Amino acid sequence: MAQIFRPSANSVAKLSLICFAIGVPTVWLAIAGLSRSPANTKQDVPLNQPVPFSHQHHTWELGIDCRYCHTSVEKSSYAGLPSTETCMSCHSQIWTNSPMLEPVRQSYETNTPIQWNLVNKVPQFVYFNHSIHIARGLNCNICHGPVNEMQITWKGNSFQMAWCLQCHRAPERYLTENITRPGQSPREQVFNLYWELQKKGVKGLTIKQRDEARGEFTGSDDAEDLAKGRELVKKYGIKVQQLADCGVCHH
């Protein structure tokens, strides 16, 4: 009976074992990496809009408060997008002939809403609520990135569950106080950052505030900050043991 395998089959068998050992984790890692990359999460990818609205111009250069347009951010789960009426509050007088604003005028005249492209979204089985995060003193940029520097808005963070859990598992790393007037509630402190940014510029801020303003704040491990954070967790009555439970976000 003739041999089924030639001597070289030994090498092929060894090689295929090695390929299998390397290949499977490689494919697995590639898929994991891809699902976390901006190609999938759309993080840091500016999204085209019917009107090229610049947050940088409106908030940073003109100093308009976030809440002028996002009126319901403090009291509702939705931050709220400005209605065409809000745009026209100023643009009925300013840049009235600008071709960029044609969709806004069109919308106002025909009473049909502008269809913006959604930049920040979570799956519909996630019940995110803006107002509670504001009420605990977390400012916009911690989640949304450096909005005040965005010419065209992009998604500041991946909004994947692992990202949410960084804070939900250790809120003391993220909670801070930014009091500029006595007796300010955490909700009021949120917007101090933007006023201070207006008054002092980026260079006038503390290092932590600067990180926050640039959307680079990913929690503090400084002993003093942590102690303060723990104190705030207690003060606000945050139940840390339950904060990472499924039902908190997935009702």
Q: Which stretch binds another protein (CB under 8 A): 26-34, 80-88, 137-145, 209-217?
A: 80-88
Six token digits for residue 64: 């308009």
In this structure, the number of other CB atoms found within 10 A of the CB of residue 232 comes to 19
Selected binder of another protein within 78, 102, 227, 234 (CB under 8 A): 78
Should residue 125 be labelled a site residue for another protein when binding is judged by CB under 8 A? yes
Q: Residue 134: enclosing H or E segment and its boundaries?
A: helix 130-135
Should residue 113 be labelled a site residue for another protein when binding is judged by CB under 8 A? yes
In this structure, the number of other CB atoms found within 10 A of the CB of residue 219 comes to 17
Cα(119)–Cα(159) distance, rounded to whole angstroms? Answer: 11
Cα(193)–Cα(155) distance, rounded to whole angstroms? Answer: 20
91 — phi, psi (to 5°)? -80, 5
Should residue 88 be labelled a site residue for another protein when binding is judged by CB under 8 A? yes
Should residue 81 be labelled a site residue for another protein when binding is judged by CB under 8 A? yes
Q: What minimum distance in Å lies between the beta carbon of 110 and another protein?
A: 9
Nearer to another protein by Cβ, of 5 and 125: the residue is: 125
Nearer to another protein by Cβ, of 44 and 65: the residue is: 65
Should residue 5 be labelled a site residue for another protein when binding is judged by CB under 8 A? no
Nearest to 167 by CA among 139, 191, 125, 195: 139
Residue with tokens 């709220």: 80
Q: What minimum distance in Å lies between the beta carbon of 210 and another protein?
A: 23
Nearest to 81 by CA among 104, 99, 61: 104
Should residue 128 be labelled a site residue for another protein when binding is judged by CB under 8 A? no
Residue 43: beta bridge partners?
155
Residue with tokens 């955490």: 186
How many of the chain's residues bind another protein (CB under 8 A)?
28
Encoded one letter per residue, x for contact with another protein by CB under 8 A and - for no contact, window 58-77 reads ----xxxx-xx--x------
Should residue 83 be labelled a site residue for another protein when binding is judged by CB under 8 A? yes
Nearer to another protein by Cβ, of 80 and 103: the residue is: 80
Cα(57)–Cα(55) distance, rounded to whole angstroms? Answer: 5
- Name the site residues for another protein (rule: CB under 8 A): 62-65, 67-68, 71, 78, 80-81, 83, 85-86, 88-90, 92-95, 111-113, 115, 123-125, 188
